[in-house]
Amino acid sequence: MTITAAAATVTVTPGAAGPTSDSGATMSGQDSGGDSGGQTPDGPPVITGALTGPRHLTMSDVFEHENWSEGSVAVPRVADAQQGIFTTVSGCGGAVQMELRFADQSGFLVFTAAQGLNSESSQDVMEFQVSSDGKLVDTKLVKFNAQQKLQADLSGVTAVTIAVKAQSSDNSCGRANAVILGLSIMPKS
């Protein structure tokens, strides 16, 4: 895969140490060391393996994502920064998505949706949607100072997409920070 930017061309080779640019610099993403069952020989990870208890997921488990990052993030009404996955969403743009792929997995994908404390406006609402194999299975509106739990049953599912979009209260193009906390697979009881 080749990504062309205004000043450089970046080439990504599966299995290489990291993408290299035409300037000779090497770039690398953050690997949080999560156990995704390994990256497939031809690309991003597919989550495999028997579930013996709750399994925390990280960015290294994400098959495809648009501008999502992982790290410490502050959310309203929580005293300390939390470890989470986050992105910035424009009120004028479409949804920002991430996709997770599963091979013969059971249980539920669960997470808590929130807004970042550093969102431009405390009046905007974020809409989080979860789709399993293209079918919408959960959707929640998340106000600035609230958190909402979302989930998807993984029985027979191979792909789960999480999409988020901002709903600006004043029809402006403000930017809000969407946050996913505690992304996990939980066993069925």
Whole-angstrom distance, CA of residue 150 vs CA of residue 127:
11
Percentage of residues in the chain having pLDDT higher than 90: 51
pLDDT, residue 183, reads: 97
Q: Which of 38-52, 56-70, 78-92, 171-185 has the lowest mean pLDDT?
A: 38-52
Select the CATH number that applies to the domain covering 31-186 from these four: 3.40.30.110, 3.40.50.720, 2.60.120.1060, 2.40.30.10.
Answer: 2.60.120.1060
Model pLDDT for residues 142-175, shown as the tens digit of each residue: 999 999 999 999 999 999 999 999 876 666 677 8
Model pLDDT for residues 15-50, shown as the tens digit of each residue: 333 333 332 222 223 333 334 344 445 567 899 877
Nearest-5° Cα angle at 83, 108 to 130: 35
Residue 159: exposed, middle, or buried by beta-carbon count in 10 A (0-12, 13-18, 19+)? middle
- Identity at 125, one-letter amino acid code: V
> Which residue ranges make up each domain of the chain?
1-29, 31-186
| Torsion over CA: 85, 137, 54, 159 (sign) | negative
In the numeric block, the tokens 């998340």 are attached to 142
Percentage of residues in the chain having pLDDT higher than 70: 75
Phi, psi of 118 (to 5 degrees): -95, 20
Q: Counting runs of H as helices and runs of E as strands, what totals does the chain give?
A: 0, 14
CA distances from 34 to 54, 123, 162, 167, 179 (A): 13, 35, 19, 33, 19
Q: Which residues pair with 56 in a beta bridge?
A: 184
Average pLDDT, the chain: 78
